[in-house]
């Protein structure tokens, strides 16, 4: 077998392969002999059909099958021989496939980039540290109470933070428009759920009152037919309800799956959750900075095939997340191209760091991560056992731990500055979360 390789770009390879005619004919004859054993031809007993008849009837199909198998097999042999690492399936261009002649074809494909991760000392990381203070815990308890607010009917005028039950009809240019009417809608005043001016127009209204509210749709309103237009809403207030925060009692604690009857016990459990969230937030921000630093220090070209695959994965994820009848391929690739490139580049860089430093998942750390995740459940021992019985989930945790080891390796060489901050600042989401495969 003859092989020649041409570098048509930094990553693209054009490989010409010639398979000897003898090997081609051997493959064709093998298939014809297999066909002869089972072929049913009128006038002949099974297995007794003359080879001349078999060849006449089935040689074209046998030759086509042989072509497909030989292309696949010889391509694999060639990339092993040439020590190439394809990043996707090749585009095959047949050159010659005539009986009695060598099979020649061209395979065009991209290879994974070869590089060494560098620039560790140019990476600067600000590592935050914080504690859950009693005031932070008190604030969290108030947040939990507000999230579980109940509304109780009152006989007074509505004010901000009250919930009103309303019927309304909206008109533009004196005509009722689609989607502008509803009955029995629950609306918390001041929530910003409706267009500007709608909720303000109901402050001071009482149950049974009808109000006419004039508003203007924002210029960037999602329905372009209504954007920037003036509208009139006739609104009937059915009821007014005031917010009532729940008491911190056993019934309230049970809503969070916490079997505690005392406030002190509940506070302890909430503090544990806050501390776990704090650790995860700090770790995520450090990782984000490390990944950004690796990207900046290691600009690499990536194979188009990997980018296309990642874009398609992101399309599928978007459809699964947002639903609807749209098909993934209908979503424009441009929506995902930047994110896809970041993920692919980081995946290659992280994999190379693992290779350069011969990193392997620390099984003790894997166990620790699983136990920490399990601690959020009522039966943590069962959760731990479940992970160790499911290879796919266990390997996902190992991948997370391995990525953390990559971060730790980089931190040993990067410039790290420690900074003490408040709990709120520490858990505030990072603006650009890093993603790596």
> What pTM value is reported for the model?
0.75
The per-residue pLDDT for 205 is: 97
pLDDT at position 431: 60
Within the chain, which residues score under 50 in pLDDT? 432-437
**147 in Cβ contact with 243 (< 8 Å):** no
Rounded distance, CA 365 to CA 370, Å? 9
Contact 237, 201 (CB under 8 A): no
Residues 6+ apart with CB under 8 A from 64: none
Task: Report how far residue 22's alpha carbon sits from residue 26's, in angstroms, rounded to the nearest whole number.
Answer: 6
The pLDDT, as a whole number, for residue 234 is 97
What pLDDT does residue 33 have? 84
Q: What is the pLDDT of residue 435?
A: 44
DSSP 329: G
Residue 367's contacts (CB-CB under 8 Å, 6 or more residues apart) are: none
pLDDT reported for residue 408: 96
Smallest CA-to-CA distance from 91 within 21, 15, 200 is with: 15
Two tokens, residue 79: 């990339």
Q: If 0-12 CB within 10 Å is exposed, 13-18 middle and 19+ buried, where does residue 366 land?
A: buried
């Amino acid at each position: 077998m003859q092989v020649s390789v041409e570098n048509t770009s930094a990553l693209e390879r054009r490989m010409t392969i010639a398979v000897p005619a003898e090997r081609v004919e051997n493959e064709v004859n093998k298939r014809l002999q297999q066909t002869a054993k089972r072929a049913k031809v009128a006038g002949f007993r099974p297995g007794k059909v003359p080879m001349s008849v078999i060849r006449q009837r089935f040689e074209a199909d046998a030759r086509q099958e042989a072509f497909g198998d030989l292309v696949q097999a010889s391509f694999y042999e060639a990339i092993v021989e040439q020590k190439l690492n394809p990043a996707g399936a090749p585009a095959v261009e047949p050159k010659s496939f005539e009986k009695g002649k060598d099979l020649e074809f061209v395979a065009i494909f991209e290879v994974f980039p070869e590089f060494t991760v560098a620039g560790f000392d140019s990476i600067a990381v600000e590592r935050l540290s914080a504690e859950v203070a009693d005031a932070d815990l008190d604030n969290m308890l108030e947040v939990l109470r507000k999230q579980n607010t109940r509304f109780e009917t009152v006989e007074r005028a509505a004010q901000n933070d009250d919930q009103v039950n309303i019927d309304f009809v909206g008109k533009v240019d004196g005509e009722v428009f689609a989607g502008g009417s509803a009955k029995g809608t629950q609306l918390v005043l001041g929530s910003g759920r409706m267009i500007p001016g709608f909720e303000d127009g109901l402050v001071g209204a009482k149950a049974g009152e009808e109000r006419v509210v004039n508003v203007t749709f924002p210029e960037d309103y999602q329905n372009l037919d209504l954007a920037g237009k003036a509208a009139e809403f006739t609104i009937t207030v059915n009821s007014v309800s005031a917010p009532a925060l729940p008491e911190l009692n056993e019934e309230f604690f049970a809503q969070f799956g916490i079997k505690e009857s005392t406030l002190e016990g509940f506070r302890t459990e909430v503090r544990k959750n806050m501390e776990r969230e704090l650790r995860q937030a700090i770790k995520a921000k450090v990782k984000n900075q490390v990944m950004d630093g690796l990207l900046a220090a290691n600009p690499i070209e990536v194979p188009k095939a990997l980018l296309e695959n990642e874009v398609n994965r992101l399309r599928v994820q978007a459809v699964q997340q947002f639903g609807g009848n749209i098909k993934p391929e209908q979503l424009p690739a441009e929506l995902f191209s930047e994110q896809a490139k970041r993920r692919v580049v980081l995946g290659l860089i992280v994999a190379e760091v693992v290779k350069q430093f011969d990193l392997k998942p620390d099984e003790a750390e894997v166990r620790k991560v699983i136990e920490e995740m399990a601690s959020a459940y009522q039966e943590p021992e069962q959760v731990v056992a479940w992970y160790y019985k499911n290879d796919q989930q266990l390997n996902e945790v190992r991948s997370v731990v391995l990525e953390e080891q990559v971060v730790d390796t980089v931190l040993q060489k990067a410039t790290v500055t420690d900074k003490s901050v408040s709990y709120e600042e520490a858990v505030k989401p990072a603006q650009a979360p890093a993603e790596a495969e």
